[in-house]
Every structure is written in structure tokens, then in C-alpha cells.
Amino acid sequence: MNTAAPVPHLGKYLFRWLAILTMLGLGAVSLAVYLVFDHTLSVRQQEMLDQKQASLTHVLADDLKEHRTKSLQHMLMDFLAGHGDYAVYIKDDAGNTLFDSRTASFPAHHSIERSFRVSFYSEQSEQLLSANATLVMDRRPDDALLRSLAWTLLASMVAGSLILSLFGRLLVRKSLRPIKALVAQIGDITAKDFEKRLDGSALPQELHPLVTQFNALLDRLADAYRQLESFNADVAHELNTPLATLISSSEVVLRKPRTVEEMREVLESNLEDLRRIASIVGDMLFLSRADRGAGAREKKNARLAPVASEVADFYEAVALDANLRIEIDGDASAPIDAPLIRRALSNLLSNATRYARTGSAVVIQLRNRQQADHQEAVITVCNEGAGIEATHLRHLFERFYRADSSRHNADHNHGLGLAIVQAIAKMHGGSVFAESDTSGTRIGIILPAS
């Protein structure tokens, strides 16, 4: 059994990461300050050692008379006076210690040493001698300063992170208020109020695309809901008329004895209405299967002209009665379920012959055309006559839709023909189109041919 991972709370998620990033940012800044300060102290210590080395070398090498009268120890004690953080020890070339100011409390692991050669005047030999001098600097004051700085930066980092995190939490809560307001707006929308739309004027720019897409979804749902209500009303109307006729005719027949011939006439009339009901139910079941994703059962690559010719032959008598001609223009090939395509062409021809101008031709155009990455087969049924208004044109493939609201000729046309054409096109992976102008109307199917 698969269990979905828990979805994090957006506010807590943002607050947690804001706190982490704040601490990391302040930590990086604190570390940078500490390293820069440590480097600065190191540079300063080296500069101080350079200065002390130069001073010590100068003092020991000075051959002024007053300096010659002083012993080495005396000169070095004068040199170190007031500089308790420095120590000096000197050894001659034989390794004998000539001077050592280090004490037991002088830390070896918290000091910096600098060794160099010095020359000094010896009263015993009355000449300048050379020796190895080592200058030692006590780093404990600087180390204490670094520790104090480290603790200060650490405390500042923690305190700053807490303060910024608290303000960040308030900011996150404030930033999420528009989403809560949006949720409240969505909660107010019901099926009885599909005309209501979300107001995004007071929302951040980032939420405007969401509001736009949601309002577009509401438009589609409102259209679907209106179509569903209209569909229910149309189904009731289409079934109510023949059922009422059946009931009334049966009641009339049963009121008194009838002859066999009279009974036959009533049954024939009732059979016609029953066939109409069965036709409506059958078409609705076909559309239902198409809506559930049923596809064409057996698609074979075939030429469309022979299929169109079969349908045209079937409608030849209808066309003659209406003083019309049926013509086939061109040819095309595509993988099709022939019975379904015949049914779609039959519906298109039935629609075209009803509205074509007397004496004109109904033309079935068959074309293959190449698109960017595939080939298509286009079946177009054209008829001359009064054009269809644009307001009606986009609804032609809806179920039970009629441009004529008076339901003229409703006994023979129950408004599912073009909806079935669209369903058959989708079952083949294709689409439908409808065009109309003052010269006539063109309705057709586009099928994938490769």
C-alpha cells in the first residue's frame, strides 16, 4: 500500500528555511570578520617583531661611548623595560647563553619567536662580537582579544538569527494572508453561483496567473454546467414528445373496441415513435462510450473516396427530392474505421442537404495535407445556402443544439448528429471544424493520416 509523503506546511517550511539561511548568513559574516581580524593581528604582530628586531639590532650594534660602558645585560634590560610581553635570549656561537629574560610564566605555546644575528660591543675583548638572538612575543593578549571577539560574534549571530527569524515569521504570515483570502473567495463559489469570479486586484503579482487560470477554469465549468442543464432539458423534451404521443394514442385506442385495421395503424404509428426513441437512446449510448475514451475498433489504411461514394449513393434519392446534386472532389487516404466514417459522413450529408439552397450542389472534398511533423486527411462537406451566425457556429457540435430555437423539423432531427461526428473524429485521434459565410457552410473532419 502506497502512502503519500506528508505535505509540509508552507508557513512553517518558509519560516524554517528563513531561520536556517539567516543563521548561515550571519555565521558566514561572523566567520569572515573573525578571519579578517585574525589575519590583521598576525600582520600587526609581524610588523611589531620587525620593529623590535630593528631596534634591538640597532641598540646592540651602537658603538657610542656611553653604550660601550654598559654591559650586555644592562642594555637588554633597558631595551625590555615597559615591554613585558617581549623576551630576548642570546647565545654565542658555542651555544653559551649570554642573556635570557624568559620566565617560567612565559608561555611557549602562546608566543612567536624570531631568530636573527646581532653584533654587540664586548667590554672584556673590547671589540664587536656576533651572536644568535631570539626575540619572543607573548600572544596571550591578542589571543584573549580574539576569544572575546569570537564569543561576541557568536552571541551576535544567535541573537540576530532569533530576531530576524521572529520578524521573518511575521513577514511569512503576512505574505500568506492573500492566499488565505483567495481560499475564502474560492469557498464562496457554489454550483448555484457559477458567474462569480475571483478578484485578484488586491493580490500579489505572483498570484495573478493562478487567479487568471482559475477564472478560466470556472468559465469552462460554467459552460459545462449550462450544457449539462441544457442537455437534461433537451433529453427530457426529446423523449417526452414521443412518449406522450404513445400514451395518448394507446389511451384513445383502448377507450372502445377497434378493428384490426385501426389497431394496425396505431401500432405502426407507435412503432415509428418507438424507433425514434431507440435512435435517441442509441446515439446517447454511443456518445457515452466515446466520452469514456472508446476508440475506433479496427482502423485500416483506406482510400476515402469509395467510402464517400457509398454514402453519396445512399443519399441520392434524398438529394433528388430536394433538387440537389452530391459531388465528390478529390481523394485522400488514412487509417480509418470505415463504418464509423460512413456514419460521420452520413450525418454531415444529412445536415448539408437540409440547409442547402435548392438546385445547388453538396460537395464532399477529400484532401491529404502535410503538417510540420505529420500528415492529415481532411474531409469537408460543403453546401451553398444562408450562412450560420458566429454565435451559433461555435455551438454546432454540442448535443441537442439547434440554431433554430423553434425546433423546426425536430421529428427527424434530434440534434445529436454533429455531436456524433465530433465523437467519431476524437475516436480516430482527430478533430472537427465548422466555417460559414455568405457563400455557404463547410463542416468537416481532420484525421491523422500517418
Task: Give the separation between CA 250 and CA 257, rounded to whole angstroms.
Answer: 12
Beta bridge partners of 347: none
Q: Is residue 310 part of a domain?
A: yes
What is the number of structural domains in the chain?
Answer: 3
Name the β-bridge partners of 377. 368, 447
In this structure, the answer to whether residues 392 and 252 fall within a common structural domain is no
**With 70 as the cut, is the pLDDT of residue 250 above it?**
yes
Q: Is 113 part of any domain? A: yes
Verify that 263 and 317 share a domain, yes or no: no
Looking at the structure, do residues 254 and 386 belong to the same domain, yes or no?
A: no
**Statement to judge: residues 309 and 396 lie in one domain:** yes
Which whole number is the average pLDDT over 30-55?
Answer: 91
User: What stretch of H or E contains 442?
Assistant: strand 440-448
CATH of the domain at 350: 3.30.565.10
Domain region containing 277: 205-289
**278 and 378 share one domain:** no
Q: Looking at residue 121, what DSSP letter applies?
A: E
Q: DSSP assignment, residue 205?
A: G
Distance between first and last Cα of the chain = 42
97-100/86-91 β-pairing: antiparallel
Domain boundary among 122, 145, 168: 145
Residue 162 pLDDT grade (very low, low, confident, very high; cuts 50, 70, 90) = confident
For the chain, what is the mean pLDDT? Answer: 81
Is residue 260 situated within a structural domain? yes
Share of the chain above pLDDT 90, in %: 13
Dist CA 52 CA 46 (whole Å): 10
Let me know whether 258 and 402 are in one domain.
no
- Per-residue pLDDT of 254-268, as tens digits, reads 888 888 888 888 888
281 and 335, same domain (yes or no): no
Greater confidence (70 vs 189) lies with 189
79 located within any domain: yes
Q: Is residue 264 part of a domain?
A: yes
Q: State the pLDDT at residue 280.
A: 76
Query: Are 210 and 312 found together in one domain?
Result: no
Identify the three-state secondary structure at position 384: strand
Would 252 be classed as within a structural domain?
yes
Instruction: Examine the fold and report which residue of 269, 289, 309 is the final residue of a domain before the chain moves on.
Output: 289
Domain final position from 93, 114, 145: 145
Fill in the DSSP letter of residue 389: P
